[in-house]
A and B are shown apart, each in its own frame.
Chain A
Amino acid sequence: MANLIVSIRFYNYMILGYFLTICSIYLVLNIISFKAIRKYTHKITHIELKNVFRFSNTKPISLIVPAYNEGNTIIDSTKAFLQLEYPEFQIIVVNDGSKDDTLDKLITHFSMKKVHFGVIENLNTKPLRGVYMSSKYPSLIVLDKENGGKADAINAGINISKNPLICVVDADSILERDCLLKIAHPFMENENTIAVGGIVRIANGCKVKYGRVLEIGPPKSWLGKIQVVEYLRAFLFGRTGFDSLNAMLIISGAFGCFKREALIKVGGYKSDSLGEDMEIVVKMHEIIRKNNPKARITFVPDPICWTLVPENFPSLRSQRIRWQKGTVQSLGLHKKLFLNPKYGWVGLLAFPYFTIFEMFGPIIEFSGYVIVILSYLLRITDVSFVVVFFTAAVLYGIVLSILSVILEEMSFRKYPKGVHLFILFCASVLENLGYRQLLTWWRFQAMVEYLFGARSWGKIEKKGFTVL
């Protein structure tokens, strides 16, 4: 019994240390992000992007859109992709063996015809069933293949793309018209840039017409509203902060741009990956930065990709469980980066941060709740301490969420009405009262499932955009 009490006390210290460390990291990231975003917003006001990209050094882009059962959104999003502003780009929609009418809709709507088309690269993928092109839309290619997962579909797209930059976009996403100009700019600014991530914002609640977001508003459900704040925090201060240290470990699968040669060099996406977006970035750090420490993987907070998020608990759970398993898988595959000074801040900060706080975080946090209850039952600590400590943790979470909303206010101010700001503020509070604890529980479940070998993608219910 005495040993148990000593162990519990020791664990309590660990939890306290964990809490203080994560708070400090978030604080530092916040400070860095404020500075970086201010610098970026100033810079972008004086860049005439259309002028920059009018010369012969412009790098053409292949936009790869993996699509699986995206019949509800594929036409709207493809139309939006066709309207993007960029001097030279092609769109490769990869139908990954959809069981719905995704392919039929594409063929009918865009008058596509089956053509013979050879592959350029030989990344391993499931067999191709056909390539479709249209003389009405010469920049659009539809690739039909057997189902092999998102990573496999992207690899199939890479195999037929010719352009030096490859942009990967989710089929249920809408890109703002100038976003290719913005996401390609870091490749012009710094020749060592090998990958760029853009910001992903939530389209639920926004009004869409002709494949464009015309009216921005928060989602109807509180689950959606909370995710708006969560995304703001993840992108505006998480990604921006790590980017300032050249230590980005993830580029959102919904929208990212890569140098083609870098993707080929690392052998493309890992086909059976659960978190292909993280795995490819970690792999790039491991393989490319080993030979070229100057290689840069960066984040731009402005090129906006609007995406739909799940607004019901089963779909959200499924998504978050997959994300967690993807994180565990990616970190496990590239564990040699852990505390490896050869990889700079990635090895010394980002990788350990993700391992401790993202991968093991749910276990530590969940066990923390259990231990705190045990401590109370064994009279190691009193109830007032538990309540006060929990309140402090929740309040700190609220502070971080509000800081993200402030960062948004100081930079892009996408939500136009005062009432939107009030909603975001309420969501910042609500997020920390139940939602985060629920996520911790799901992520804990994901860890357990992963350890016992359950590694499927899960199902997410998808609705279309709100069309005006």
Chain B
Amino acid sequence: MDWYTGSNFNDLIIFLVWGLALLVILLAIYCFWLRLIYDLRGKKRKKLFSRWEEIIFEYLDRKKLPSEIVESMPKSEYDYFLDFIKDYLIVIKGEDFKRLSVLINQTKLFSYLINKLKQGNSQMRSDAAFFLGLARAYKAKEFLRERLKDRNDSVSYNCALSLAKIGDIDAVSDILIQYRNCKNYSRDSLLCILFEFGNSVCQSLLQHLLKEKEDSLRILIIDVLGHYRYFSAGKAILNLLNLSNNNELRIHCIKAIGRMEYIEALPTLRRCLDEPDCVIRSQAISAIGKIGDITIENKLVEKLGDENWWVRYRAAEALFSTFEQGKESLKDILAHSKNKKAVSAAQVILTEKAMGV
């Protein structure tokens, strides 16, 4: 029963104590060894970076050829060089960017990255996809498309983002299919990818919108079309707003229509002002405010007394920004109205505008 007081158990615990003491010493040594390694790596990195800094500016000044920089570099320094050039590729634009990207696209670094993308572990594949996108490596698009279906989320995401940076519009379908089938990145992540294509993606997305049956994807496409104010999509989005029973989809339609200031949507938007869903009402007011419908001043004043705070706020905001006399109307409401809700909404907007919010 009292084995724990027995000498065997004591021996076991003593053995454990010695083991733990040894572990403490080993961990401490490992910790300092890690610091030493990182410091040495840091020094090497610093030395290489300061050498490359001079070289890169000479290269941008056309005093050096790409091959002179990369071909003489040992393979062990490739990752350091990619790390070095990363910030330049992110920050620099125009002709200098094109010259910098040549250092990756037309040298040994390209095949190095392609090999990593094909054969490396998930971290290497992800790195390679990232750098190929950063350097706008158009030649790599087929390899990146292949890796869209990668089981690792990070690799798949970086491939999609890189294809977007490269501007490979043909890959949009694959990216949407991948999202629909695997959902291996979020809605917002997909939005970022689609935004990254720039407004050139809109035409392709409009074609997808006309064919698409799934509301979650429709919403995403509408958000991008709205973001880029793609006016040609106004009709299709208005149709969805009129025909859909999905309020979430309709809310995104209203937002997009407002952003693109699609004037043909005004009759529909006016009808939306009396919808039971408060988000639809508030977004419709916001959209009408952006388009600038001067016929609904009284309706907006009425909406200042709506039961929902956001509807009241948007109505006050629309009154202020749409009508010349909007500011005076709000001041008048503040001074004379007995409706506390309307007064509060007017107060918030007048204060915010006065403070420059």
Give 21 A-B contacts (CB < 8 Å), ordered by A residue: A46-B127, A51-B196, A56-B259, A57-B191, A118-B345, A134-B355, A135-B356, A188-B188, A189-B186, A381-B5, A385-B9, A395-B20, A398-B20, A399-B23, A399-B24, A402-B24, A402-B28, A403-B27, A406-B27, A421-B31, A425-B31
A210 at the interface (CB under 8 A from B): no
Q: A16-B4, A42-B126, A409-B38 are in contact. Are A399 and B189 (CB under 8 A)?
A: no
Give per-residue flags for B175-204: 1 if the beta carbon is below 8 A from chain A beta carbons, else 0: 000000000011111011001100000000
List the interface of chain A (C-beta within 8 A of B). 9, 12-13, 16, 42-43, 46, 48, 51-52, 55-57, 90, 115-118, 120-121, 133-135, 138-139, 162, 187-191, 380-382, 384-385, 388-389, 391-392, 395-396, 398-399, 402-403, 405-406, 409-410, 413, 418, 421, 425
Residue of chain A at shortest CB distance from B38:
A413
Which residues of the other chain, A, contact B126 by a CB distance below 8 angstroms? Answer: 42, 46
Q: Is the CB of B20 within 8 A of A418?
A: no
Which residues of the other chain, B, contact A116 by a CB distance below 8 angstroms? Answer: 347, 351
Interface size for B (C-beta < 8 A) is 55
- Cα A410 to Cα B189 with chains together (Å): 28
B21 at the interface (CB under 8 A from A): yes
For the complex formed, measure the closest distance between the CB of B77 and the CB atoms of chain A, giving whole angstroms.
18
Q: Is the CB of B17 within 8 A of A395?
A: yes
B243 at the interface (CB under 8 A from A): no
For the complex formed, measure the closest distance between the CB of B89 and the CB atoms of chain A, giving whole angstroms.
10
B173 at the interface (CB under 8 A from A): no
CB-based closest 3 A-B pairs: A118-B344, A395-B20, A188-B188
- Per the 8 Å Cβ criterion, residues 114-143 of B in contact with A are 123, 126-127, 130
- Cα A399 to Cα B186 with chains together (Å): 39
For the complex formed, measure the closest distance between the CB of A250 and the CB atoms of chain B, giving whole angstroms.
25
Residue of chain A at shortest CB distance from B5:
A381
Which residues of the other chain, A, contact B105 by a CB distance below 8 angstroms? Answer: none
Most A C-beta atoms less than 10 A away, residue of B5, B32, B313, B355: B355
Residue of chain A at shortest CB distance from B6:
A385
For the complex formed, measure the closest distance between the CB of B88 and the CB atoms of chain A, giving whole angstroms.
13
- Cα A391 to Cα B17 with chains together (Å): 7
Q: Is the CB of A188 within 8 A of B223?
A: no
- Per the 8 Å Cβ criterion, residues 322-357 of B in contact with A are 344-345, 347-348, 351, 354-357
Give per-residue flags for B4-27: 1 if the beta carbon is below 8 A from chain A beta carbons, else 0: 110001100110110011011001
Q: A191-B187, A392-B17 are in contact. Are A405 and B31 (CB under 8 A)?
A: yes
Q: Is the CB of B32 within 8 A of A421?
A: yes
Q: Is the CB of B27 within 8 A of A191?
A: no
Q: Is the CB of B192 within 8 A of A188?
A: yes
- Cα A405 to Cα B196 with chains together (Å): 39
- Cα A425 to Cα B348 with chains together (Å): 54
Which residues of the other chain, A, contact B351 by a CB distance below 8 angstroms? Answer: 115-117, 133
For the complex formed, measure the closest distance between the CB of B201 and the CB atoms of chain A, giving whole angstroms.
13
Q: A402-B28, A409-B38 are in contact. Are A117 and B347 (CB under 8 A)?
A: yes
- Cα A139 to Cα B356 with chains together (Å): 9
- Cα A46 to Cα B82 with chains together (Å): 12
Which residues of the other chain, B, contact A413 by a CB distance below 8 angstroms? Answer: 38
Q: Is the CB of A396 within 8 A of B20?
A: yes
- Cα A9 to Cα B185 with chains together (Å): 55
Q: Is the CB of A189 within 8 A of B23?
A: no
Which residues of the other chain, A, contact B259 by a CB distance below 8 angstroms? Answer: 56
For the complex formed, measure the closest distance between the CB of A56 and the CB atoms of chain B, giving whole angstroms.
5
- Cα A42 to Cα B154 with chains together (Å): 10
Q: A133-B355, A405-B31 are in contact. Are A395 and B24 (CB under 8 A)?
A: yes
Q: Is the CB of A380 within 8 A of B2?
A: yes
Which residues of the other chain, A, contact B123 by a CB distance below 8 angstroms? Answer: 42
Which residues of the other chain, A, contact B191 by a CB distance below 8 angstroms? Answer: 55, 57
For the complex formed, measure the closest distance between the CB of A91 and the CB atoms of chain B, giving whole angstroms.
12
Which residues of the other chain, A, contact B2 by a CB distance below 8 angstroms? Answer: 9, 380
Q: A191-B187, A402-B24, A425-B31 are in contact. Are A118 and B347 (CB under 8 A)?
A: yes
Give per-residue flags for B302-313: 1 if the beta carbon is below 8 A from chain A beta carbons, else 0: 000000011001
Residue of chain A at shortest CB distance from B192:
A52
Q: Is the CB of A55 within 8 A of B186?
A: no
16 additional A-B residue pairs with CB within 8 Å, beyond A115-B354, A389-B13, A409-B34: A9-B2, A48-B90, A51-B192, A57-B192, A117-B347, A120-B313, A135-B355, A191-B188, A395-B20, A402-B27, A406-B31, A409-B35, A409-B38, A413-B38, A418-B35, A425-B28
Q: A57-B192, A402-B31, A409-B38 are in contact. Are A392 and B13 (CB under 8 A)?
A: yes
Which residues of the other chain, A, contact B208 by a CB distance below 8 angstroms? Answer: none
- Cα A190 to Cα B355 with chains together (Å): 35
Residue of chain A at shortest CB distance from B223:
A57
- Per the 8 Å Cβ criterion, residues 211-230 of B in contact with A are 223, 226-227
Q: Is the CB of A46 within 8 A of B158?
A: yes
Q: A9-B1, A52-B192, A118-B347 are in contact. Are A138 and B356 (CB under 8 A)?
A: yes
Residue of chain B at shortest CB distance from A413:
B38
Q: Is the CB of B223 within 8 A of A56?
A: yes
Most A C-beta atoms less than 10 A away, residue of B16, B127, B158: B16
Residue of chain B at shortest CB distance from A385:
B10
B112 at the interface (CB under 8 A from A): no
Which residues of the other chain, B, contact A43 by a CB distance below 8 angstroms? Answer: 154
- Cα A286 to Cα B35 with chains together (Å): 43
B30 at the interface (CB under 8 A from A): yes
For the complex formed, measure the closest distance between the CB of A76 and the CB atoms of chain B, giving whole angstroms.
23
Q: Is the CB of B186 within 8 A of A190?
A: yes
For the complex formed, measure the closest distance between the CB of B290 and the CB atoms of chain A, giving whole angstroms.
13
Which residues of the other chain, B, contact A56 by a CB distance below 8 angstroms? Answer: 223, 226-227, 259
For the complex formed, measure the closest distance between the CB of A425 and the CB atoms of chain B, giving whole angstroms.
6
Give per-residue flags for B155-188: 1 if the beta carbon is below 8 A from chain A beta carbons, else 0: 0001000000000000000000000000001111
Which residues of the other chain, A, contact B16 by a CB distance below 8 angstroms? Answer: 392
Which residues of the other chain, A, contact B10 by a CB distance below 8 angstroms? Answer: 384-385, 388
For the complex formed, measure the closest distance between the CB of B13 and the CB atoms of chain A, giving whole angstroms.
5
Q: Is the CB of A55 within 8 A of B14?
A: no
For the complex formed, measure the closest distance between the CB of B92 and the CB atoms of chain A, giving whole angstroms.
14
For the complex formed, measure the closest distance between the CB of A52 and the CB atoms of chain B, giving whole angstroms.
5
Q: Is the CB of B34 within 8 A of A406?
A: yes
Residue of chain B at shortest CB distance from A402:
B27
Which residues of the other chain, B, contact A55 by a CB distance below 8 angstroms? Answer: 191-192, 195, 227
Residue of chain A at shortest CB distance from B36:
A418
Which residues of the other chain, B, contact A398 by a CB distance below 8 angstroms? Answer: 20, 24
- Cα A268 to Cα B259 with chains together (Å): 33
Which residues of the other chain, B, contact A46 by a CB distance below 8 angstroms? Answer: 126-127, 130, 158
Contact residue among A162, A384, A409 (Cβ-Cβ distance under 8 Å from B31): A409
Which residues of the other chain, B, contact A138 by a CB distance below 8 angstroms? Answer: 355-357
Which residues of the other chain, B, contact A189 by a CB distance below 8 angstroms? Answer: 185-186, 188-189
- Cα A9 to Cα B5 with chains together (Å): 10
